Amino acid sequence: MDASYARTLWRVIEPVHIISYFAPESVTAAKEIGLRGYWMGYFAMRAAPLGPVGPGVVEATFHGFHPKRVRRAIPDAWTFAAHADVLTARSAAAAAALRRALPEVDGLAPPITELLRRAVEAADGTGRPLFAGNRDLPSPDDPVEALWQAVTALREHRGDGHVAILTAEGLDGPQSNVLASAVMGSPGQWLKDSRGYSDDEWDAAHAALAERGLLASDGTATEEGRAFRQAIEDRTDARAAGPYRALDDPSALYDALLPVAEAVIATGEIPFPNPVGVTRPA
């Protein structure tokens, strides 16, 4: 399997995972267990497989968010909601959202989950904390929750590798977001605001990237910047491809997940372009 196919698979894996960030079911579930506000729900639910960790762990593993944004939610989240309740709520809410998007997902889930689990079991967790935490959670009895959990493990496997590459290339949180916005057309103002950066911090990231020759004076990506970003994406694909080589036919996983991803996208709840940079499946 060519490593670039990992990106093709990402385009159907990512929408199924990130329904949990945008669906009203997740917002409601977080509120019902006692979490306060969208960002507390986001950080607690995504970090929950790591345990009731402190803010430093979340800053390190999530990479792109301002530390102050993290620290407004963590560790307070664990005083408002029991850690076990957060784990239960996040998968139940994701499954409810998937069922709303695609009522027949219950029948589709078991064979898809079997393929996903083969990939998860083949993946190396070294240096991938979010992946390893999700991998080691017990698989839910509910078939749609099990599907979402396996998708999430593979999504975080890719994300952990991506963060490692960004860090190795000397890109901090705001610089990574600014470069992504300039190259991929992600909404810059949205990225700045959602990640919690000030105008001064955002401008400083622009200046640092311009000094490296990655951005022009008007904030657009230079040819060097586009090539640099593409090299990061190519290396991310290469690091993400390993688990899928355990499958006899990775395209079978794509074909099986495609209707689920398309149903999620059809809800209109995931914006395009979006903060994570995923595009619609081909």
282 within some domain: no
Name beta bridge partners: 221. Answer: 215
277 within some domain: no
**pLDDT at residue 187 is higher than 80:** no
Averaged over 57-67, what is the pLDDT?
Answer: 96
173 within some domain: yes
Cβ contact 49:137 at 8 Å: yes
Number of domains, the chain: 1
281 within some domain: no
- How far is Cα 106 from Cα 125, in angstroms, rounded to an integer? 29
Q: Both tokens of residue 201?
A: 């911090």
278 within some domain: no
Stated as kind and residue range, the H or E segment containing 83 is: helix 83-101
**pLDDT at residue 170 is higher than 90:** yes
Q: What is the pLDDT of residues 69-89, one digit of tens each?
A: 999 999 999 999 999 999 999
Residue 215: pLDDT band with limits 50, 70, 90: very high
Element counts in the chain: helices (H) and strands (E): 15, 0
57 within some domain: yes
Other CB atoms within 10 A of residue 220 CB: 11
What confidence score (pLDDT) does residue 279 get? 85
96 within some domain: yes
What confidence score (pLDDT) does residue 272 get? 84
- How far is Cα 256 from Cα 109, in angstroms, rounded to an integer? 9
**Percent of residues, the chain, with pLDDT higher than 90:** 91
Amino acid at 102: L
DSSP per residue, 169-204: TT--HHHHHHHHHHHH---HHHHHHHHT--HHHHHH
What confidence score (pLDDT) does residue 234 get? 96
Residue with the larger pLDDT of the pair 127 and 186: 127
What confidence score (pLDDT) does residue 269 get? 93
Asked if the bond preceding 129 is cis, omega within 30° of 0, the reply is no
Identify the domain containing residue 96 by its residue range: 3-267
Q: What is the pLDDT of residues 100-140, one digit of tens each?
A: 999 999 999 999 999 999 999 999 999 999 999 999 999 99
280 within some domain: no
